[in-house]
Amino acid sequence: MLRSILREPLVRGFTCVALAFLAGACGILDPRVCHTGVFIEVDPITATLAVGQSVTPTATIETCPEGVRRLELSWSAQDPGVVRVAPESGQITGLREGESEVRGADVEGAVVVTVSVTVRDPS
């Protein structure tokens, strides 16, 4: 069942991409009304790490009629001096105290997600 931004509030952690053409393609939505046909979830959307600690974000996409699947993204850091990011897996490792956004994008650039990361030095 598709969730519509018109009927439900946007839940934290979800980025909605409205695709009007999807309404007609699914055959279950009125193509004259703009529906949200794609939901992208990123977990976590924020992370606080100690220096040396790591986290690996996941991104999933829910589409009609395919359902939910994991997105294959290429990951990069806004500030590579604060965090190291493995481009394929997305694993984020804190290098020094500071803040950085980590960006994940698909090959076409149609899907872009961000994770806000804060690194703290416990010493």
Instruction: Please give the pLDDT value at position 95.
Output: 98
**Are the beta carbons of 40 and 14 closer than 8 angstroms?**
yes
Q: CATH says 14-120 is which class? A: mainly beta
Instruction: Please give the pLDDT value at position 76.
Output: 97
- What are the sequence ranges of the domains in the chain? 14-120
Confidence at 32, pLDDT banded by 50, 70, 90: very low
Q: Which of 3-7, 51-55, 71-75, 101-105 has the lowest mean pLDDT?
A: 3-7
The radius of gyration computed from the CA coordinates of the chain, to the nearest angstrom, equals 17
Amino acid at 121: D
**Are the beta carbons of 67 and 26 closer than 8 angstroms?**
no
Confidence check: pLDDT of 86 > 90: yes
Residue 85 phi, psi (nearest 5): -125, 130
Instruction: Please give the pLDDT value at position 65.
Output: 65
- The mean per-residue pLDDT over the stretch 7-30 comes to 40
Instruction: Please give the pLDDT value at position 38.
Output: 72
* Closest by Cα among 17, 45, 18, 47 to 33: 18
Six-digit token string for 25 = 């393609």
